[in-house]
Amino acid sequence: MNAPTRPIPASVVILSYNTRELTLDCLAHFAEPILDRGWQVILVDNGSTDGTAEAVAARFPRVQLIPSPENRGYAAGNNRGLRQARGEVVILLNSDVQTTPEALQALVDYLAAHPDVAAVSAGLRTPDGQPQAFAFGDEPRPSYLLRRGLGRLLGRAPLHDWAVDHPVDVDWVSGACLAVRRAALAQVGLLDEGFFLYFEDVDWCLRMRRAGWRVVYHPGIPVVHLGGASEPGRSAANRLYYQSMARFYRKHYGRLWGWAIHALGLGYRLLLGAKGAGQ
């Protein structure tokens, strides 16, 4: 009989897609010290063609490498790492995030001190030190979406102030640097692979909150998020964004709202195409 797998303090799951140098830099900031502490570091390479997997294997042989022959999206890629993670806490980390062992340890310590919190995000900062927009937000209920759209039309300020200076309970946080408690993960399940890109973190946090857990954004644990390094071009990004939003609405608010968002996204893309053709 095989001995039971021994639990470890934490696992860090990094997803990469054609971000070779950023991935190497990301790992260089923290990998060796936390591996020395007995943590697990997993790199899921989501079908990169720039030699990311080979470079990581050569430079960081202790990192557990999971190569994928194709890019199956953010949720599916991270789920491959989550299935292999053995930590009591699992930290999802984008390859374009620069963090430290101390920041990662602080996320683990925060969950240990707050047993009702399922997930805590580090405070996301731009390279010039400014708070990152859309690092967290409210559940995008239809009423919220209408308020946000009206605010944009009227030129009003965003609905959120991302420059908070203390931990706050929120409806969702970005998955760029997100620590999740294993007990919550076991209860609500993995990321929904029906989302290729965008809204998978919003959906995950919603499921956690519906299960009775809290979700927290912690600006006192700052990390640098370069942002957008592996995102598709603007046209593809817009298409994927509205596809994911429509799926989120169908899943949580019904088919009618899903079709409404689909139509909104189609109209928006047609408008962008018309503007581009006239330039």
What is the Cα–Cα distance from 181 to 88, expressed in whole angstroms? 6
Q: Which residue has the tokens 């062992």?
A: 101
- Residue 99's pLDDT is 98
- Residue 277's pLDDT is 33
What is the Cα–Cα distance from 193 to 187, expressed in whole angstroms? 17
- Residue 140's pLDDT is 79
* Size of the chain in residues: 279
Reported pTM? 0.86
- Residue 227's pLDDT is 80
- Residue 201's pLDDT is 96
How many beta carbons lie within 10 A of that of residue 125, not counting itself?
Answer: 17
What is the Cα–Cα distance from 114 to 187, expressed in whole angstroms? 17
- Residue 11's pLDDT is 98
- Residue 3's pLDDT is 42
Task: Evaluate the CA torsion angle 259, 265, 271, 273 in order and state its sign.
Answer: negative
- Residue 228's pLDDT is 65
Report residue 152 as tokens: 């944009």
Which parts of the chain register pLDDT below 70? Answer: 1-6, 142-159, 228-234, 256-279
- Residue 257's pLDDT is 59
- Residue 250's pLDDT is 87
Buried b (16+ CB within 10 A) or exposed e, 227-246: bebbbeeeeeeeebbbbbbb
- Residue 5's pLDDT is 62
CB-based contact 119:184 (threshold 8 Å)? yes
Given the DSSP bridges, would you call strands 168-169 and 87-94 parallel, antiparallel or unpaired? unpaired
- Residue 267's pLDDT is 45
Superfamily of domain 8-231: Spore Coat Polysaccharide Biosynthesis Protein SpsA; Chain A (3.90.550.10)
